[in-house]
Structure 1
Amino acid sequence: MVTDTLPEGFTDFDMYVFGSLLLLGGVLGFVLNGVTVASFLCVRENRNPSSFLVVNLALADMILNVNGFLAGYATYLRHWPFGQQGCVYHGFHGMISVLASVSFMAAIAWDRYHQYCTRQKLFWSTTMVITAFIWVMAVFWASMPLLGWGVYDFEPMRTCCTLDYTRGDWNYISYMLTLMILYMTFPTYIFLTCYDAINRQFKRVHHHRFNTDIPFRVMWVCWGPYIVVCLYACLFDPEYIHPRIRMMFPVMAKMNPICNVVLYSYGNEFFRGGVWYYLTGQRVAEPTPQKSK
């Protein structure tokens, strides 16, 4: 039954602000990532194994953009219009995109290490195996709550859905800690080791092609607060945190696709030339990593 009653802890202004951010982030991220996909399909120079990882990151983020747009739409309605089952699938849909997005960011870090440090090119066969593995594992782990390990339920505004961290039972704790190891600890290790090696290579050739600290920092600025709340819920009752604050963190996380497309597509010196050509018809020279002295 539809009700006009606002969720506990939220004002009408809160609903308008959160809804606007979700809608804006969803539309802007979808368009920007859509340009990335279109440039890959339409520009021959962009169709290479390394760029395929970037495009799959864009696809994963576009899924999250759709997820955020639906949440923004429901927030403007002041209720979730798709029922409890729709909430479950909304959470499942969002979880797939998050797990795939984090995995592709780690894969891109590993590929960049080889681009700049070992000068080894990625083969299509390797890329296809990595891509298939990432998507299959994302669907597998996101489906666990559908099978009873974890639960998808409403977020504090009750207009979007995610993993229910308010339960705090062993079912939630075991699932969350497993995801933390597989999709935060391991990718973080890849980020730190690969970008540190790239930074040392840049220092050797006295030419910094990009800021190697930014990808890791952006990921943790967007996802860190939400992860802290999820871990906090493993030990304490998250209901002690005000609903408005708890809602800020998933909204911040849903802005991550915009940051990703800027970093990995428009800020990628091996990809942005194709994007520029797709948008303007003007070609730019493709850079070549310098050898260490």
Structure 2
Amino acid sequence: MIPYEVEYLRASSVQQALSILAQNPEAKILAGGHTLLPMMKLRLARPGLLVDIGRLPELRGIVVHEDSVSIGSATTHAELEASAELKRLAPLFPLAATVIADPTVRNRGTIGGALVHADPSADWPAVALAMDAEMEVAGGQGSRRIPAHEFFAGFMSTAVEPDEVLTRIHVPLPAPGRVAYRKFRHPSSGYAVAAAAVAINVAKDGYSWGRIAITGVADAAFRAWEAGALLEGSFADLPDKVDAIVEAAFTNVTPLEDNFADGAYRLQLGRVMLKRALVDALEPRRGD
């Protein structure tokens, strides 16, 4: 497809990027390019100006704090997959990164770009919801943090304003002791037809709380609050609750429909993925 004319600027800092956005309402942020550029190719997006923030050092990397781990928004999927700190402290991130697209995309695409794009079948929104992450965004009035459950506003829509930039993702510590991610990949795109993220906190005699998030099924990734509330009890009792947890997760959910999967099929895939994720998370491990 013949590209249309577009202006490109590489920002030297977040503040410069914010200044450009404030002066150019039609400008769009470019990080890895694996969400915006395909939309431009299909003429689903036509920004007049691209502001590249993908190489800003201040937006890259993983930093461990006393009570959280912060992830720069321009950190690539591959960097998250390989991170020793995340494997130790927040393993749901590298676990999910392994099933994102292919190595080419993982080496170029960024977590921030995927979160702000908010594709209803993307992987990172479910992970952010299950890990109770907070998104830090910078704007002309300073920075603010948005809880993950308030971040995703609907179909490809987030709480980030047009003149704001997502800078970091903050994950509270200590993270849940048991995590799992199960995904049914679309054979063409690699996106999730249905996927489930599970995070469960391990207490002395069992599980004290948990979180469940679903992507690919509805018009936006969502936190299954009622289902997560059932993730407590003894090690022996929880496997018997799996069916009830699965049903609670999809009660009153209106599914997406397309040529690949109608609503009923997509809901059933969601149930299967969640059940498998729960089994993964509940599987006895050495030391339990």
Give the TM-score category using the shorter length: under 0.3
- Select the structure that is richer in strand: 2
Structure with the greater relative contact order (CA < 8 A, sep ≥ 6): 1 or 2? Answer: 1
Give the structure with higher Rg (CA): 1
TM-score normalized by the length of structure 1 = 0.27
